[in-house]
């Protein structure tokens, strides 16, 4: 009885008793969730237009962050470093298309997936050679990202919001909006969606695979940079960052590999739910540290009932 | 090689047919052991409606795929506007002003009718990827221009009322029309239609025939048409190529072709 109460009653009683703390927990979860969503978006873009499950998404985040910090360390002003990092991400996109994707056109999906593992290893090696393996500090203040905090008093309680987190959430929201407008209202965006929808038809209206692939890898590169700055500002820049990409996996299982809405909602949901679980169930009952595995269990649970994910379309082989 | 004079002429219904715009020379296309096209030559004249007919599996779609760059023939040359065409990818052919539809409708099912037709304008994209991304104003101006053209096509094909409908929800006949709209949005010089009326009822067929004639008449678009319905072919086309087992067994005006013994045999010999 006592156990059941600890699982089914007390956590909710705690939430009601301290709504300000609940809001704090949700907010923290949301901030992580935003970053999971961004990484998942990068995956979805590439998957939709090329059927490639991009294992390299995580290392792209690290590589972008390392490049930014490294360039700044060479004495280049912060925002110029950002611009140069974007140039580097563009060059990487072109190189991946030329050297890896183009020769592998028409190969089975698994080969292309293996190729992205190759890209990962290459970026890890290159990154370590150029920038070294040790931890670095993100150039947060140099980029003008505020570091203070604000305190709100909802329900007469106490809610602390880091300026950094607010900036992350707003920038991510702006990036997602820009992306949606790009995909929905521009010809290039239509071309990307078209290619994801019907390959043959896309070719017949003059869409070049190569151009679109470079474009989606570059857009993922941009997303990777934003994610890298945000995450790096909270946790430092190191190759350990790569593991946040693994959080994108349950997000994709939840949201579906092809749905942009799914990636966003799935990311936010996992961020919030894993935080809530940790605080209200994990720490009191399981000794904490449940954030490492909770998302996977949740996603597996969902997969049992909806194999296509919450937002995925029917699973059909493409012809 | 051509049985007609190289000069342009005027048809009985007053349309001007120009010189040869595309010349297919000795085309052979093989898939492993199957020879889909055996040493076929024919030409397409500016402004004409050129039909390709033949029994199932004759190689008609394969020929269209060769023209549109989806298949590359092992042997043969394609001459376009007096120049030999190097091997090209489909998107390159599209950008040369050759648009097409597919026998099995190939639309972007998840996108609206309007967005589908807008993709037809991709061949006309001037601003490069980068300048599109960086220079919002220029991209906007192009977007507006494209929208105007696309709205005209949508009006022309009388699909205004479904502009915002996702294509996946449309009935078959309308999908065929949307596919034609997408091809027309490209302002093509040559339009390749693979069985545009297959699976349609009589009324839909009449509509589609009228649209095809109007496109040809109003815009002077050259049209290559694959069709099984003989009545339609005889009504619409200026000249007909007949294929059977990958070979060309007839080529000429509809009436000549109809009375050609080889053609009659081919059609009698195959059940439909
Ligand atoms: N991609 C392909 N791979 C292998 N064989 C093919 C391919 N495309 C066509 N063929 C073969 O080439 C031959 C001609 O096919 P094609 O589709 O061109 O005929 P068709 O005249 O369009 O027939 P239908 O009236 O049924 O559409 C057939 O034997 C077909 O099986
Ligand atoms: Mg066919």
CB < 8 Å to A204, chain B: 68, 70, 90, 94, 99-100, 102, 106
Q: Could you give the CA distance from residue B153 to residue B165 in angstroms, rounded to a whole number?
A: 16
- The tokens for B237 are 């086309």
Contacts of B157 (CB under 8 A, 6+ apart): B177, B180, B181, B184, B211
- Which residue is it, tokens 């393996």? A133
**pLDDT (0 to 100) of residue B269:** 64
Higher pLDDT, A133 or B251: B251
The whole-number pLDDT of residue B132 equals 61
Beta bridge partners of B112: B166
Contact A206 B110 (CB under 8 A): no
Neighbouring C-beta atoms of residue B165, cutoff 10 Å = 15
What percentage of chain A reaches a pLDDT higher than 70?
A: 97
* Residue B4 clears pLDDT 60, i.e. is over it: no
Q: Which of B68, B92, B119 to mutate to test the interface with A (most CBs of A within 10 A)?
A: B119
Condensed to tens digits (0 to 9), the pLDDT of residues B205-248 reads: 999 999 999 999 999 999 999 998 888 898 899 999 999 999 99
Number of domains composing chain B: 1
Domain-embedded: residue B88:
yes
By percentage, how much of chain B surpasses pLDDT 90? Answer: 74
| Strand duo B34-45 + B190-194: pairing | unpaired
The pLDDT, as a whole number, for residue B197 is 92
Residue B272 confidence (pLDDT) above 60:
no
The CB of B244 under 6 Å from ligand 1? The reply is no
Distance CA A192, CA B122 (A): 11
Contact A116, A52 (CB under 8 A): yes
d(CA A209, CA A199): 9
Residue A234 has pLDDT above 50, yes or no: yes
Residue B11: pLDDT band with limits 50, 70, 90: confident
Per-residue pLDDT at A313: 57
Question: How many Å lie between the centroid of ligand 1 and the Cα of residue B58?
Answer: 7
Ligand 1 atom nearest to B103, measured from its CA: 27
A129-159 CB burial, b ≥16 within 10 A, e <16: eebeeeebebbbeebebeeeeeeeeeeeeeb
Distance CA A145, CA A186 (A): 31
> Which chain A residues are Cβ-neighbours of B111 within 8 angstroms?
190, 193-194, 197
pLDDT band per the 50, 70, 90 thresholds, residue B3: very low
CA distance A18 to A156: 10
Question: Is B121 in Cβ contact with A187 (below 8 Å)?
Answer: yes
Q: Which ipTM was obtained for this model?
A: 0.88
Q: Residue B83: beta bridge partners? A: B80
Model confidence at A316: pLDDT above 70: no
Inter-chain CB pairs, A–B, below 8 Å: 88
The C-alpha atoms of residue B63 and residue B73 are separated, in whole angstroms, by: 9
Burial pattern A260-289, b for ≥16 Cβ within 10 A else e, equals bebbbbbbbbbbbbbbbbbbbbbeeeeeee
Average pLDDT over residues B179-189: 97
Nearest beta carbon to residue A188 from set B90, B129, B186: B129
Among residues A222, A35, A85, the alpha carbon closest in space to that of B133 is found at A222
Q: Whose CA is nearest to atom 26 of ligand 1?
A: B56
* 3 state DSSP class of B249: strand
Question: Cα(A291)–Cα(B259) distance, rounded to whole angstroms?
Answer: 79
* A225-242 CB burial, b ≥16 within 10 A, e <16: bbbbbbbbbeeebebebb
What does the mean pLDDT of chain A come to? 90
Instruction: Return the pLDDT at A317.
Output: 41
Residues B89, A185: C-beta atoms closer than 8 Å = no
pLDDT at A100: 92
Q: What is the pLDDT of residues B33-75, one digit of tens each?
A: 999 999 999 999 999 999 999 999 999 999 999 999 999 999 9
pLDDT reading at B142 higher than 90: no
Partner-chain contact B107 A194, CB within 8 Å? no
The pTM of the full predicted model, rounded to 2 decimals, is 0.88
Average pLDDT of A118-133? Answer: 91
Residue A267 tokens, joined: 């990311």
Average model confidence (pLDDT) for chain B? Answer: 90
B83 exposure class (CB count in 10 Å sphere: 0-12, 13-18, 19+): exposed
Per-residue pLDDT at B133:
60
What mean pLDDT is predicted for residues B252-257? Answer: 90
Q: How confident is the model at residue A315 (pLDDT cuts 50, 70, 90)?
A: very low
Kindly state whether A197 is in contact with chain B, defined as any CB-CB distance less than 8 angstroms.
yes
Domain span including residue B230? 1-97+224-272
Residue of A191, A197, A209 with shortest CB distance to B122: A191
> Looking at residues A76-97, what average pLDDT do you find?
96
CATH number of the domain where residue B45 is located = 3.40.50.300
What mean pLDDT comes out for the span B166-172? 93
Residue among B52, B53, B56, B61 whose CB has most ligand 1 atoms within 8 A, to mutate: B61
Region B135-154: mean pLDDT is: 86
Alpha-carbon distances, residue B20 vs B27, B58, B72 (angstroms): 17, 24, 22
* pLDDT, average across residues A211-237: 93
What pLDDT, on a 0 to 100 scale, did the predictor assign at position A5? 87
pLDDT, tens digit, for every residue of B72-89?
A: 999 999 999 999 999 999
**With contact defined as beta carbons under 8 Å apart, do A156 and A92 qualify?**
no
Higher pLDDT, A317 or A279: A279
In this predicted model, what pLDDT tens digit does every residue of A250-267 receive, in sequence order? 998 888 888 888 899 999
Q: Which of B34, B52, B53, B244 is the pocket-test mutation for ligand 1 (most atoms within 8 Å of CB)?
A: B34
The pair of structure tokens assigned to B83 is 């120049």
A187/B142 Cβ within 8 A: yes
Residue A109's CB is within 10 A of a number of other CB atoms, namely 12
Spans of all domains in chain A: 24-305
pLDDT per residue as tens digits for the range A25-46:
999 999 999 999 999 999 999 9
B45, with CB counted inside 10 A (0-12, 13-18, 19+), is: buried
Distances (CA, A) of A251 to A85, A254, B49, B106: 27, 5, 53, 31
Name the residue among B89, B102, B119 with its Cβ closest to that of A200. B102
The CATH number given to A24-305 is 1.10.3470
Q: Is residue B230 part of a domain?
A: yes
Query: What is the H or E stretch that residue A234 is in?
Result: helix A209-235
Tell me how far the alpha carbon of residue A170 lies from the centroid of ligand 2, in angstroms. 53
pLDDT of residue A238: 87
Stronger pLDDT, A253 or A270, i.e. the higher one: A270
Count of C-beta atoms within a 10 Å radius of residue A208: 19
B89 and A203 in contact by Cβ < 8 A? yes
Work out the angle at residue B50's Cα, subtended by the Cα atoms of residues B45 and B55, and round it to the nearest 5 degrees.
145
Place of tokens 């040559």: B190
């Amino acid at each position: 009885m006592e156990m059941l109460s600890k699982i089914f009653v007390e956590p909710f009683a705690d939430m009601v008793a301290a709504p300000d703390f609940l809001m704090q927990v949700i907010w923290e979860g949301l901030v992580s969730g935003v970053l999971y969503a961004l990484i998942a978006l990068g995956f979805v873009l590439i998957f939709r237009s090329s059927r490639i499950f991009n294992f390299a998404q995580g290392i792209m985040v690290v590589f972008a962050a390392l490049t930014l910090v490294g360039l700044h360390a060479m004495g280049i002003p912060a925002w110029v470093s950002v611009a140069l990092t974007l140039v580097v991400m563009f060059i990487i996109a072109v190189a991946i298309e030329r050297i890896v994707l183009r020769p592998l056109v028409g190969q089975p999906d698994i080969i292309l997936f293996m190729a992205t593992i190759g890209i990962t290893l290459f970026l890890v090696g290159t990154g370590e050679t150029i920038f070294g393996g040790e931890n670095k500090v993100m150039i947060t203040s140099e980029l003008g990202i505020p570091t203070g905090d604000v305190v709100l008093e909802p329900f007469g309680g106490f809610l602390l919001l880091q300026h950094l987190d607010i900036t992350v959430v707003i920038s991510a929201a702006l990036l997602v909006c820009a992306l949606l407008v790009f995909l929905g209202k521009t010809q290039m965006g239509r071309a990307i969606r078209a290619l994801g929808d019907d390959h043959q038809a896309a070719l017949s209206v003059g869409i070049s695979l190569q151009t679109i692939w470079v474009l989606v890898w570059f857009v993922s590169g941009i997303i990777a940079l934003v994610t890298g700055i945000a995450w790096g500002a909270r946790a430092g820049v190191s190759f350990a960052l790569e593991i946040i990409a693994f959080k994108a996996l349950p997000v994709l299982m939840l949201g579906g590999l092809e749905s942009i809405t799914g990636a966003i909602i799935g990311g936010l949901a996992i961020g919030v739910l894993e935080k809530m679980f940790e605080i209200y169930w994990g720490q009191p009952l399981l000794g904490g540290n449940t954030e490492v595995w909770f998302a996977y269990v949740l996603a597996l649970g969902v997969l049992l009932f909806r194999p296509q994910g919450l937002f995925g379309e029917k699973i059909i082989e493409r012809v | 090689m051509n049985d007609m004079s190289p000069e342009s002429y005027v048809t009985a219904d007053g349309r001007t047919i120009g010189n040869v715009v595309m010349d297919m020379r000795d085309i052979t296309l093989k898939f492993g052991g199957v020879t889909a096209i055996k040493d076929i030559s024919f030409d397409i004249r500016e402004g004409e409606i050129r039909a390709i007919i033949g029994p199932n599996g004759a190689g008609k779609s394969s020929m269209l795929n060769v023209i549109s760059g989806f298949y590359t023939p092992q042997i043969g040359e394609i001459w376009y506007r007096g120049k030999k065409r190097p091997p090209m990818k489909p998107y390159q052919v599209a950008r040369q002003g050759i648009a097409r539809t597919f026998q099995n409708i190939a639309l972007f099912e998840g996108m609206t009718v309007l967005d589908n037709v807008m993709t037809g304008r991709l061949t006309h994209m001037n601003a490069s990827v980068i300048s599109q991304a960086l220079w919002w104003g220029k991209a906007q101006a192009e977007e507006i221009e494209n929208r105007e053209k696309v709205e005209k096509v949508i009006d022309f094909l009388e699909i205004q009322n479904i502009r915002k409908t996702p294509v996946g929800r449309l009935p078959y006949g309308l999908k065929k029309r949307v596919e034609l709209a997408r091809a027309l949005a490209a302002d093509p010089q040559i339009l390749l239609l693979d069985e545009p009326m297959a699976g349609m009822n009589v009324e839909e067929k009449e509509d589609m025939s009228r649209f095809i004639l109007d496109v040809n008449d109003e815009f002077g678009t050259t049209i290559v048409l694959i069709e099984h319905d003989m009545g339609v072919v005889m009504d619409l086309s200026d000249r007909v190529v007949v294929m059977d087992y990958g070979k060309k067994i007839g080529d000429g005006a509809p009436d000549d072709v109809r009375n050609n013994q080889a053609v009659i045999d081919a059609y009698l010999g195959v059940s439909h």
